[in-house]
Structure 1
Amino acid sequence: MTGWLASVANAAEISLILPTAPDILDLKDPAAGALGAWDAGDIAAAVRDLAANQQRPRLSATIGDHPMRPDAVLPAARRIAATGVDFVKIGFAPDGAPDRCIDALAPLAAEGARLIAVLFADLWPGDPCCLPIDRLAAAGFRGAMLDTSGKRHGLRHHWNDAQLGAFVSCAKAHHLLTGLAGSLRVSDIPALSALAPDYLGFRGALCGGERTAGIDPQAVTRVAACMAKLPIATPPPPRSLPVRS
């Protein structure tokens, strides 16, 4: 069954989202970029505030938008991991040194941090074989999510459903959690859930369309209701990726 991730821009939005029971509550500042980060102190406070709630969703948090350099990515990831969130989301673009960043993050994963790679569909070629999925798995990452860095067009504008399905299949073959996000609409839910990702991620759809606007409770209810009606999908056969040198 495909779960769903809800991104919240601040602590005040958490109470608006919790009643609809998302599977993952994602702490992200949409006004600060594709993966804009909350202040680490505010993330830690949210973790503490929700710790007593036995029915709370798992928490993820983004590290912010950083160049693909280990000296930029690793300290930011360590800072967010130290807050106690369940998942640390790290964006990867093909420019710079993404492979070096992945390798530099392996010790953090070995220490127990659950790292989620966010790969931007509008920056990477529309072929899962071009993605560093094998390297992410070898470095101990917990999951991989396909998202968009620009929000003018949705995920399905950049990759078609066959390509998205191949991404899900390949990531699962490497035992990674899988997620699809990027200006998703309610109308995208049936087709994308049929690809059997572990999660679909939402922000703009929870705000009535504009991701930097506040949470719209009615929009949240529409997303939650559509996700609750999903049938259990049968995933496609897994397909392994060739090892990248």
Structure 2
Amino acid sequence: MTGWLASVADAAEISLVLPAGPNILDLKDPNAGALGAWDPEDIALVVQDMANMPRRPRLSATIGDQPMRPDAVVPAARRIAGTGVDFVKIGFAPDGAPDRCIDALAPLAAEGAKLIAVLFADLWPGDPCCLPIDRLAAAGFRGVMLDTAGKRQGLRHHWQDDQLGSFVCCARAHRLLTGLAGSLRVADIPALMALSPDYLGFRGALCGGERTAGIDPQAASKVAACVAGLPTATPPPRQPEPVRS
């Protein structure tokens, strides 16, 4: 069953989105880039505050938009892993040395950190065979998410649905959790759920369309209802207007 992830910009937004029942709360600052990081101390406070919450959602947090160098990526990942979040999200771009970064993170994964790789559909070729999925699995990553670095156009603008389906199948074959995100709209949900990813990720759709605006509880409820209730067999037509996420 496909769950959903809600990105929250600060602790105050958590209470606004919790009633909608997200499966993952993603601690990410939309004003600081595609994977803008929270302060580790603030992340640790949320982990502590929610530790005893019955049936709490899992918590993920990003390490920020880091250059593809092991000396930048590994310390940032260790800082976020040290906060106690369930998942540590790490963005990978094809420029620089992504393979060396992946290999350098293997010891952290071996220590028990659940690492989630975020690959950007607008930067990587639209072919899962070109993605380092096998390398991520070999390094002990827990999952891989396909997102967008730019937010003016959505995920389905950059990759066709059959390509996204191949990505999900390839990641699943390597026993990785799978996620799809990047300016997703409510209208995209049925088509993407038909591909059976583990999670769909949202920000802009929870904010009425603008990712740097605050969480709108009614918009969050609409996303939750669509994920929970719409059939997945018949994808809807594409909608022209973009929603930033």
Alignment TM-score, normalising by the size of structure 2 = 0.94
Q: Please tell me whether the aligned partners of residues 16 and 215 of structure 1 are also in contact (alpha carbons under 8 angstroms).
A: yes
Instruction: Tell me the residue number matched to 1:156.
Output: 156
Structure 1: which amino acid aligns with 2:134?
D
> Map of 1:85-96 to 2, 5 A cutoff?
85-96=85-96
Answering whether residue 118 of structure 2 is matched by residue 118 of structure 1, we say: yes
Give aligned pairs, total. Answer: 233
Residue correspondence of structure 1 range 204-223 to structure 2 within 5 A: 204-223=204-223
Q: Which stretch of structure 1 is more off in the superposition, 222-231 or 205-214?
A: 222-231
Structure 2 residue 83 is the aligned partner of structure 1 residue 83? yes
**What displacement does 1:232 show?**
7.6
Paired residues of 1:109 and 1:140 also in contact (CA < 8 A)? yes
Amino acid at match of 1:210: E
Question: In 1, Cα distance between the equivalents of 2:226 and 2:45?
Answer: 31
- Matched with 1:168 is 168
Distance 1:81 1:40 in 2: 9
Corresponding residue for 1:187?
Answer: 187
SS of alignment partner, residue 166 of structure 1? helix
Aligned partner letter, 2:93: A
Could you tell me how far apart the structure 1 residues matched to 2:160 and 2:125 are?
Answer: 12
- Aligned pairs for 1:1-245 within 5 A: 1-231=1-231
Between the aligned partners of 1:182 and 1:153, the Cα distance in structure 2 is 8
- Residue 101 of structure 1 aligns with an amino acid whose one-letter code is C
Q: Is the 8 A contact 2:190 2:231 kept in 1?
A: no
Greater CA deviation, 127-136 or 215-224? 215-224
Aligned alpha-carbon RMSD (Å): 0.9
d(CA) in 1 for partners of 2:22 and 2:219? 13
Q: Deviations over 1:163-220 (max 9, x none)?
A: 0000000000000000000000000000000000000000000000000000011111
Secondary structure at 1:45's aligned position in 2?
helix
- The alpha carbon displacement at 1:21 in A equals 1.1
CA distance in 2, matches of 1:165, 1:216: 30
Structure 1 runs not aligned, ≥5 long? 234-245
Given that 1:193 and 1:230 are in contact with CA atoms closer than 8 Å, whether structure 2 keeps it comes out as no
Shift in CA distance, 230/112, structure 1 to aligned 2, threshold 3 Å = farther
Unaligned runs of 5+ in 2: 234-245
- Equivalent-residue separation in structure 1 for 2:82 and 2:169 (angstroms): 31
Distance 1:131 1:231 in 2: 30
- Report the 3-state secondary structure (helix = DSSP H, G, I; strand = E; otherwise coil) of the residue aligned with 1:175: coil
The aligned counterpart of 1:242 is none
Contact kept, 8 Å, 2:89 with 2:117, in 1: the verdict is: yes
Shift of 1:55: 1.4
Q: What's the secondary structure of 2:201's corresponding residue?
A: strand
SS in 2 for 1:191: helix
**TM-score w.r.t. length of structure 1:** 0.94
Q: Which residue of 2 aligns with 1:238?
A: none
Match for 2:135: what amino acid? R
